[in-house]
Amino acid sequence: MPYFRTPIFTSLALIPSLALAHHGQDFLLVESPTVPHPGSVYLIANGHAALDNGLEERAGLEPALLIGATQRIAFEVHAHTEKLASEPWAYEATAPSVHVLLSDPDKHDGFKLGLSVEYEISAKRDTPDNAEVRLSLEHGGEESKWAANLIASKEQGSGSELGAALGFRREIREGVALGVEGQGSFQHAEGALLLATAYFENEQAATFKLGLGGERSEDGRFEPVVHVGLVLRLR
């Protein structure tokens, strides 16, 4: 299940994805290079929903645990669940990953560089496993920042795919930022996604993220989508 086929979730009340400072979750679609402090544990849940003619077409939820191991290394494991139209929820896959900060871990502003590797283990016999490598870049500080990802993915038994994600956000007042994010494949237009985003942060508690936009479907239309996230620090 490559990154640009991420399932989409519907109920805003049930969709969390945390974005506290220094944990690599500053955006909805784009991964930040920064890793959590050693010993820190975050609960993350990302949710997405796609609509067609005002009706739910598909939905997904991805809960995760992110654990800081060293100043440069963090480990994550997350799950994929999916719901199509009127069908029941289905468990799709489990995906462990490792995140490595390649730039200076003591530098909180300016340019940062990171690398992550994920292996998605399918829960269905007829669905292949998927591996993903993501190079992440970020520049900026608390007031404004941009980030970019170069993403390579490969399904078991098939060819590899290359894509990218970009994001920019700017703080408009303390604890509130607005931005824009997008992602897509270099091989095809299907699945290309563009969001207008808002981020509401309390560094001592949690961050809520909301994105509204469109995703390109197989027939070339842009379906309205909503992405939400909440990040909680457990320790």
Q: Note down the domain range covering 145.
A: 3-233
Is pLDDT at 118 greater than 80 in this prediction?
yes
Percent of the chain clearing pLDDT 90 (strictly above): 60
Q: What is the CATH number of the domain that holds 136?
A: 2.40.160.40
- Average pLDDT, whole number, for the chain? 85
Among 30-39, 140-149, 215-224, the least confident range: 215-224
Is pLDDT at 3 greater than 50 in this prediction?
no
Give me the mean pLDDT over the 27-40 stretch. Answer: 93
pLDDT tens string 143-180: 899 999 999 999 988 889 999 999 999 999 988 999 99
What pLDDT, on a 0 to 100 scale, did the predictor assign at position 56?
A: 54
At 219, is the pLDDT very low, low, confident or very high (cuts 50, 70, 90)? confident
> DSSP per residue over 81-99, as a string?
EEEETTSPPEEEEEEEEEE
pTM summary value = 0.83
| Number of domains within the chain | 1
What pLDDT, on a 0 to 100 scale, did the predictor assign at position 8?
A: 33
What pLDDT, on a 0 to 100 scale, did the predictor assign at position 55?
A: 52
What pLDDT, on a 0 to 100 scale, did the predictor assign at position 22?
A: 52
> DSSP per residue over the chain, as a string?
--GGG------GGG---B--TTSS-SSSSSPPS--PPTT-EEEEEEEEEEEETTEEEEEEEEEEEEEE-SSSEEEEEEEEEEEETTSPPEEEEEEEEEEEE-S-TT--SEEEEEEEEEEEEESSTTS--EEEEEEEEEEE-SSEEEEEEEEEEEETTS-EEEEEEEEEEEEEETTEEEEEEEEEESS-STT-EEEEEEEEE-TTSEEEEEEEEEEE-TTS-EEEEEEEEEEEE--
What pLDDT, on a 0 to 100 scale, did the predictor assign at position 84?
A: 83
